[in-house]
Structure 1
Amino acid sequence: MAQVTFEEISASDFFYRNRDIAGFTNPTRAIFAAIRELVENSLDAAESLKIPPEIYVRLSFEGEASRETQIYKLRVEDNGCGVPPRHIPSAFGQVLFGSKYKLKQQRGTFGLGGKMAILYGQITTHQPATIISSTGMSRIYMYRLMIDIQRNRPIILDRKVFLNKEGWRGTVVEFSLEGDYLRAMPKILEYFKQTAMVNPYANITFVDPKGRLYKFIRATTVMPDPPKETLPHPYGVDVELLQRLIQVTPYNNMLEFLKNHFHRVGEITARKFLEFSDISPSKNPKRLSHEEIVRLMHMLKKFKEFLPPDASCLSPLGEELLKTGVLKELKPEFVAVHQRKPATYAGHPFIVEVAIAYGGEIPQKGGILIYRFANRIPLLYDEASDVSVKVINEMNWRRYKVTPDMPIAIVVHICSTKVPYKTVGKEFIADRPEVRREIANGLREVARQLQHFLTRREHVDRERKRLGVFSKYLPKIAEFSTKLAGKEKPPDIEKLLRSVRRFGVEGI
């Protein structure tokens, strides 16, 4: 009989062996994923202080790695909140260590992406990462570090402290990695364009390996309100979460436990639920058996009188900012935007925002251009699997006067405390019925506005042709009529033409 060997591996070792699931599937995807993860961390850091982000990204060529890949140095700088010095080594050198485990709308989900980028760079180049950060206080801290993959701990190679004479605040991350920029370039540039579209208050600068400068200038300094932390909703809990809450609760009775650990559960609702579940309000939650915890979880999902989640914890972009971003990057002739009212799935609040743009500089590609976003993250891969694309493809667009040859772009943005991604790589959104319904309703609203615009434009075109006919033949008719009447002065046709313009083209 063959001997079976069991071993325990660390989180960093797991992702070292399975980096594909985090989006680092090949040198092309890896260089894109590294840039994306660090830029999104920078955006979150600036938005946490509600200051317009200033982000600088530079990718420098360092040498050939193989016939198809090269070694690059990636540097990302921001003006965000900075990282407290005691947390810098773990924040960048320990997988699954971070500030993104509370229930709050944010770009990052797993505390994983930035560390995976550094880990990928270490695996492919065997070089350390350099981290420079300050929270705006009197010191700037610089670390050179690597990740101990087996122990999932940072290895600090060097640490320096500098006086912060100019009061700088922010973070700089720099490391080397293997990649294929030539193949990744279209996606990287598209990523920056779409990031600028859905973050129109950010200045983003990118310098590529050939020294080409790409600048995406902010169109506004207005920013959405930052998201707020919230408690879990009863409909969204599972047994594991209940066990964790019970372990940390300072309360010794079920009534206070429910009131203080769950979203929108007050005294009256908690008492009704405990009566419904046949649980004593005075029972100590720490004395619940495993079977009782499982039953509690099922009863929480069955109880129908919990209030729906409050979406005030969310930070949607807003119709004005979305419109500003679309106009800035797509430069269309027409744009309509619509923000849906808050909805929920599995106890998690979410808001859908949609926009439709027509004409202008939108290219005619024989199909609708689709831009997908989640918590202001552009989703560029696995488009066919995304719920937004499925809804768009299922709609009867001819009903709204839209044909495949028209220059049309659609933007779908979903914000939530828990976006229903299908993969760790955050590439597409799962087909949840509640999410699908909100996307479909939002699209119908903006499609009706586009239909109204196209109808008006058809009317304008008809009136313009009609005016052209009048302008061409009225002078001749006036001339012949004057001769037939035996008069010398023809009638004033300008008054008639002005009325046609007023009730025709100019009246639309």
Structure 2
Amino acid sequence: MKAQEKYREMSIAEFFAKNKELAGFSNPTRAIYQTVRELVENSLDATDSHNVLPEVKISIKEVEAATDDKPAKYEVAVEDNGIGVPPNEIANAFGKVLYSSKYVIRQTRGMYGLGVKAAILYSQMTTGQPVFIVSSTDSSDNIYYKKLLIDIKKNEPVIIEEGQLLKRSNWHGTKVYLTLEGDWIRAKQKIIEYIKRTALIAPYAEIVFETPENEIYYFPRVTKKMPKPPSEAKPHPHGIDIEQLKAMVSFTKTKTMLEFMVEEFQSIGEITARKFLESIGIDPNMNPKMLIEKGNSKLLQVVATGLRTYKNFRPPRSDYLSPIGEELIEVGLKRLFNAEWVKAITRQARAYEGHPFIVEAGIAYGGNIIPTEEPVLLRYANKIPLLYEEREDVSYKVVSSINWKLYNIEEPMPLVVLVHVASTKVPYKGVGKESLSEVQELESEIKNAVQEIARSLRLYISKKNSERTLREKIVTISKYIPEIARSLSILSIPPDKWGTDGKNNNEKIIEKLVKIVSKSIELPKIDGKEEDPEKIVRSVIANVKLEQ
């Protein structure tokens, strides 16, 4: 007789504990990188999303050396000066998977608060150590701390220790300390690169990073200008599915379908709502709760399908989004690469499946950029640097498909291309949030953004090449001015006056020749700047030595 299968419920915490690779914790190298990333992103969301100039401190310390059969253990600590976590929310915010302040339609770096909890679960599974959280809000007179674990079976926080201290300064923010198994040696370059790219995209932040070797990486704030914070958005009807519609109907306080359409969705007025309801045969006065009553599943499906396919809704609003902005992208690229030419663009908002998005791109060329066979690609989504799975990303597909020779760029090329996508719902390929899907609308916008800047770069390079040719012409001609002037001076006066008069005459002829040559050649303006040909002529003449 065959044994019967045993069934039991699995909590979401247990699911992630058993499938940690889904959240990017597949091995000790990825785990320590992912932990730093999740904590830093939470810190930045707690600061710049609330109009606070970020101050982020990161440290990694080895607390137990590696052995032949076990990786080393590290303490990862991240501190910020953000809004802090209310004391009554600390335990659930860090100890309950899928408990978050991010369950609204708003552009944030993280999704659903999964990342930090996954880091805590990994820490707990590899070292058994609790997470230590210290936090205080701006209005609080106290600093609160908690040590806690996550009850994996129940998905509940287990508080090991807690307390509060009287605040003796105006500090507010959050500090998180995690101990976990990791491979710093293999992860080092990725973590440093992640922090560099974070500093690039957030030049308004002050970031300090201390490595296990006590190396200090300091990225000072270079501007106080910040992107506008994202705001909460109502859902757009084109992005609604049946389950989301059921949830909205369950929580709505509206009494009629007309009110429901106008109050619960963005960009729908009464006239549009009436026309839509008429098109799908729904009474405007019907109570929306009827959609989730037993036996009305077909009616619910009719409404959900109608919402996604109705053509006369206005496009999703984009004013909820928080792009970085052209100025900040250019500031970041100039600081990190010291390039000779930098330009950025922020495209107009578009939408896919009812979700608004904005594509931004930047290109840095020349200067200290090391030439490579293909452009260095910097990928960002909602201001998050994406370092892994580059070749799986739609941005790589676009950038690698461009024939850069058409833009006067030869291999190896000193070229950096930055792509940033801001959206209330970024189309990631997986929970690890490392690459973006090939959504047609997104791919088209990325291509248009990169090519628009590339055309400006082509113009710059063309003018630069033209300037180089003209400069060589000026130099060639200018080399002969002293010799020609001396010959003309000798020929223009009698031999008995070749002394002082000859010298004076020679200088006058040189001056006239300098003016003639300078006026005959006009150098092109590059980025609004034009070099003075006369200065070039005089600098060449100054280095010419005539034989006596």
Q: Does 1:397 align with 2:404?
A: yes
Q: What displacement does 1:69 show?
A: 2.1
Whole-angstrom distance in 1 between the partners of 2:50 and 2:59: 24
Amino acid at match of 1:39: V
Encode CA deviations 1:109-168: one digit per residue, 9 max, x unaligned: 121111111111111001111111111211111101111111111110111111112132
Amino acid at match of 2:274: R
SS at match of 1:74: strand
Residue of structure 2 in register with 1:382 after alignment:
389
Encode CA deviations 1:253-295: one digit per residue, 9 max, x unaligned: 1100111111111101100101111111011111121111111
Residue of structure 1 in register with 2:87 after alignment:
85
For 1:430-445, what aligned pairs fall within 5 Å after superposition?
430-445=437-452
Residue of structure 2 in register with 1:53 after alignment:
54
Q: What displacement does 1:365 show?
A: 2.2
Q: 1:138 aligns with which of 124, 129, 141?
A: 141
Residue of structure 1 in register with 2:527 after alignment:
none
Q: Say if 1:337 and 1:48 are closer, same or farther in 2 by CA, change over 3 A.
A: closer
Whole-angstrom distance in 2 between the partners of 1:332 and 1:410: 12
Q: Say if 1:208 and 1:503 are closer, same or farther in 2 by CA, change over 3 A.
A: closer
Q: Does 1:506 align with 2:508?
A: no
* Structure 1 contact 372–378 (Cα < 8 Å) conserved: yes
Q: What displacement does 1:31 show?
A: 0.2
Q: Does 1:225 align with 2:245?
A: no
Residue of structure 2 in register with 1:306 after alignment:
313
Residue of structure 1 in register with 2:107 after alignment:
105
Q: Does 1:72 align with 2:74?
A: yes
Q: Does 1:356 align with 2:363?
A: yes
Whole-angstrom distance in 2 between the partners of 1:291 and 1:276: 16
Q: Does 1:235 align with 2:238?
A: yes
Q: What displacement does 1:2 show?
A: 4.4
Q: What displacement does 1:485 show?
A: 6.0
Amino acid at match of 2:22: I
Residue of structure 1 in register with 2:514 after alignment:
494
* Structure 1 contact 332–360 (Cα < 8 Å) conserved: yes
Q: What displacement does 1:404 show?
A: 2.4
Q: What displacement does 1:497 show?
A: 3.5
User: How many equivalent pairs are there?
Assistant: 508
Whole-angstrom distance in 2 between the partners of 1:81 and 1:339: 29
Residue of structure 1 in register with 2:541 after alignment:
none
Amino acid at match of 1:13: E
SS at match of 1:204: strand
SS at match of 1:48: helix
Q: Say if 1:215 and 1:231 are closer, same or farther in 2 by CA, change over 3 A.
A: same
Whole-angstrom distance in 1 between the partners of 2:73 and 2:251: 46
Residue of structure 2 in register with 1:259 after alignment:
262
Q: 1:342 aligns with which of 330, 337, 349?
A: 349
Whole-angstrom distance in 2 between the partners of 1:503 and 1:151: 74
Identity of aligned residues (%): 43
* Structure 2 contact 380–419 (Cα < 8 Å) conserved: yes
* Structure 2 contact 467–523 (Cα < 8 Å) conserved: no
Residue of structure 1 in register with 2:37 after alignment:
36
Q: What displacement does 1:501 show?
A: 6.1
SS at match of 1:77: strand
Q: 1:331 aligns with which of 325, 338, 351?
A: 338
Which shows bigger deviation, 477-486 or 416-425? 477-486
Q: What displacement does 1:85 show?
A: 0.6
Larger radius of gyration: 2
Q: Which runs of 5+ in 1 are unaligned?
A: none
Whole-angstrom distance in 2 between the partners of 1:507 and 1:7: 81
Encode CA deviations 1:406-431: one digit per residue, 9 max, x unaligned: 20000001100001101101000111
Amino acid at match of 2:132: T
- Point out which structure has higher relative CO (alpha carbons under 8 A, 6+ apart): 1
Q: 2:275 aligns with which of 272, 277, 286?
A: 272
Q: Which runs of 5+ in 2 are unaligned?
A: 495-501, 525-529, 534-548
TM-score, normalised via structure 1 length: 0.97
* Structure 1 contact 334–359 (Cα < 8 Å) conserved: yes
Residue of structure 1 in register with 2:4 after alignment:
3
Q: What displacement does 1:499 show?
A: 2.3
* Structure 1 contact 401–454 (Cα < 8 Å) conserved: yes
The CA RMSD over aligned residues, in Å, is: 1.5
Residue of structure 2 in register with 1:120 after alignment:
122
Q: Say if 1:300 and 1:107 are closer, same or farther in 2 by CA, change over 3 A.
A: same
SS at match of 2:56: strand
